[in-house]
């Protein structure tokens, strides 16, 4: 028989053993719980992070879609994916690309002709100016109410000091520019620079070159549908056998350009996107002009007419849409005086000629005219609503 003391010891040790077992059990459950908790926390963190990412993606998409709609107004909200939105985003008009980089970027063209979004075609107005666009108040009226259907680019002399307050539609539309000399090859470089900048906007479909002394002869809706609806380009080109035509051909251009291919024409062109891409990408004919068209050659009157007539004559109308008065002869066209600007005069410019448009004869041959000095502005503004049907 055991002593009661022994019994009690056994009981205590049993109890102790039991307690140890309990403790182990508790520890086991505790560890299990802790493991579960950690797992749960990690899992929930991942899930949270995931949903946060989802929200972030959603947020950044909605933020972007509005901001890019501002940049690319035609881009409808359904153009969802960030990739496409980012790709269609426009660089700032005043960027830091040099000509080589700019032309390379502008030369890219999609091989798939159908746009996977609702693209509203725009007309790009390219102003080649020395300083300010002096006819700005008239253009201001012309563009009013047609936002989203046009874009404006201005190439002014880099030395021009923008101290004069720019009018709203021209504000912030100056592109990085370089000095341009009358009749020199750098004039074509400036034109290519304007085209290249405008090509960066996928919505630009037609491209018209203007000077600060140009005016519109019709209202915006008329100009827009005339250009957008045309399957032709308007690069004036003709073969002029006299000294002011073929006489300016440099025999060093042979054999790349022959005297029979040599063409003359007005500098003031209008062209579609396909031709604009070809012009900025031309590394075959333009270098010949850069090398051999100096002095009495006048690249601005010969490069585009010759290039387009060699390579893209099929779709060219061979006429310009900009009225210029050469009747006085000499190297510069006539500049109109204030008193010459009358309703009858403007009507004659609008409908006093006959030409072909899209396969039929029309009397609407000129959409723009030059040269108009600042002194004519007041009268033009007065007659524009009545004669040119501008929205007043
Ligand atoms: C441009 O205009 C500003 C203010 O009118 C003047 O301070 C600055 O000297 C001008 N710069 C040039 C190059 O004329
Ligand atoms: C634009 O001008 C044409 C005539 O050239 C006219 O028929 C048309 O109504 C004008 N449009 C607007 C919006 O004023
Ligand atoms: C193009 O011309 C057609 C008729 O020939 C006309 O219905 C359409 O509105 C025109 N498009 C534009 C942009 O003016
Ligand atoms: C002329 O334009 C049509 C469409 O308007 C186009 O299919 C064709 O390729 C163009 N031709 C040239 C030589 O660019
Ligand atoms: C434009 O001129 C070229 C010759 O350079 C000629 O082949 C073409 O038929 C002319 N196009 C039109 C519409 O007159
Ligand atoms: C231009 O001509 C083409 C083919 O002849 C035709 O499909 C198109 O509607 C015409 N556009 C206008 C504005 O007349
Ligand atoms: C940064 C930015 O453009 N945010 C805009 C995102 O879109 C919402 C509306 O969809 C605008 O309210 C934000 O200003």
What is the pTM assigned to this prediction? 0.79
Domain assignment of residue 371, yes or no: no
Q: Where are the alpha helices (DSSP H) in the chain?
A: 4-71, 82-88, 99-106, 136-143, 186-199, 220-228, 273-281, 286-292, 299-311, 343-351, 377-387
The Cα–Cα gap between 110 and 54 comes to 31
Domain span including residue 79: 7-89
Ligand nearest to the CA of 358: 6
State which of 285, 318, 351 marks the end of a domain: 318
64 and 109 both lie in a single domain: no
CATH number, residue 225:
3.90.550
151 and 173 both lie in a single domain: yes
The Cα–Cα gap between 180 and 155 comes to 10
The Cα–Cα gap between 369 and 380 comes to 12
Domain assignment of residue 327, yes or no: no
Radius of gyration of the chain (CA): 35
153 and 261 both lie in a single domain: yes
Query: Domain tally for the chain?
Result: 2
Domain assignment of residue 387, yes or no: no
79 and 132 both lie in a single domain: no
69 and 16 both lie in a single domain: yes
Specify the pairing of strand 355-357 against strand 360-362: antiparallel
DSSP state of 245: T
Domain assignment of residue 266, yes or no: yes
Each residue's pLDDT tens digit in the chain (392 positions)?
A: 445 555 555 555 565 566 676 777 777 777 777 777 777 666 666 655 554 444 444 333 433 343 333 445 445 555 667 888 888 888 888 899 999 999 999 999 999 999 998 999 999 999 999 988 999 999 999 999 999 999 999 999 998 877 666 789 998 899 999 999 888 999 999 999 999 999 999 999 999 999 999 999 999 999 999 999 999 999 999 999 999 999 999 999 999 999 999 999 999 999 999 999 999 999 999 999 999 999 889 999 999 999 999 999 999 999 999 999 887 777 788 899 999 999 999 999 999 999 999 899 999 999 999 999 999 999 999 999 999 998 75
- Determine the residue of 123, 224, 225 to mutate for testing ligand 3's pocket, defined as the one with the most ligand atoms within 8 A of the Cβ atom: 225
Cα dihedral 305, 306, 310, 312 in deg (nearest 10): -20
83 and 130 both lie in a single domain: no
183 and 72 both lie in a single domain: no
The Cα–Cα gap between 291 and 284 comes to 12
- The CB of 63 under 6 Å from ligand 7? The reply is yes
Asked whether 177 and 155 are in contact (CB, 8 A), the reply is: yes
77 and 136 both lie in a single domain: no
110 and 165 both lie in a single domain: yes
Q: Is 74 left (phi over 0), alpha (psi -120 to 50) or beta?
A: alpha
Kindly state the tokens that stand for 284. 């075959």
List all residues whose CB is within 6 A of at least one atom of ligand 1. 161, 163
DSSP 252-287: GGTTTS-TTT--B--S--EEEHHHHHHHHH--SSHH
- Determine the residue of 220, 229, 272 to mutate for testing ligand 3's pocket, defined as the one with the most ligand atoms within 8 A of the Cβ atom: 229
Kindly state the tokens that stand for 185. 């090859």
Domain assignment of residue 369, yes or no: no
């Amino acid at each position: 028989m055991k002593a009661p003391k022994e019994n009690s010891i056994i009981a205590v040790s049993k109890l102790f053993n039991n307690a140890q077992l309990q403790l182990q059990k508790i520890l086991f459950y505790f560890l299990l719980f802790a493991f579960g908790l950690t797992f749960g926390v990690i899992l929930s963190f991942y899930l949270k992070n995931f949903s946060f990412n989802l929200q972030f993606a959603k947020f950044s998409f909605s933020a972007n879609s509005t901001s890019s709609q501002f940049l690319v107004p035609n881009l409808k909200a359904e153009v969802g994916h960030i990739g496409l939105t980012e790709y269609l985003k426009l660089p700032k008009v005043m960027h830091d690309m040099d000509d080589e980089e700019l032309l390379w970027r502008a030369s890219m063209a999609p091989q798939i002709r159908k746009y996977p979004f609702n693209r509203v075609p725009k007309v790009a107005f390219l102003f080649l100016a020395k300083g300010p666009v002096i006819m700005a108040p008239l253009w201001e009226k012309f563009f009013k109410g047609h936002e989203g259907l046009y874009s404006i680019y201005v190439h002014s002399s880099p030395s021009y000091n923008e101290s004069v307050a720019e009018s709203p539609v021209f504000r912030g539309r100056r592109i990085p520019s370089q000095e341009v000399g009358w009749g020199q090859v750098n004039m074509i470089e400036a034109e290519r620079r304007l085209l290249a900048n405008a090509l960066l906007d996928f919505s630009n479909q037609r491209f018209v070159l203007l000077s600060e002394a140009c005016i519109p002869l019709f209202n915006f809706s008329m100009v827009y549908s005339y250009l957008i609806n045309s399957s032709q380009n308007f690069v004036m080109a003709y073969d002029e056998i006299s000294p002011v035509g073929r006489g300016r051909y440099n025999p060093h251009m042979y054999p790349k350009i022959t005297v029979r291919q040599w063409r003359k024409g007005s500098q003031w062109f209008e062209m579609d996107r396909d031709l604009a891409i070809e012009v900025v990408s031309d590394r075959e004919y333009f270098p010949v002009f850069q090398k051999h068209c100096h002095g009495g050659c006048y690249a601005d009157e010969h490069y585009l007419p010759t290039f387009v007539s060699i390579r893209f004559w099929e779709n060219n109308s061979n006429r310009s849409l900009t009225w210029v008065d050469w009747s006085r002869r000499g190297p510069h066209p006539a500049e109109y005086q204030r008193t010459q600007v009358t309703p009858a005069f403007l009507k004659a410019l609008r409908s006093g000629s006959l030409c072909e448009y899209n396969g039929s004869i029309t009397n609407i041959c000129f959409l723009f005219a030059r040269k108009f000095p600042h002194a004519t502005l007041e009268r033009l503004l007065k007659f524009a609503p009545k004669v040119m049907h501008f929205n007043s």
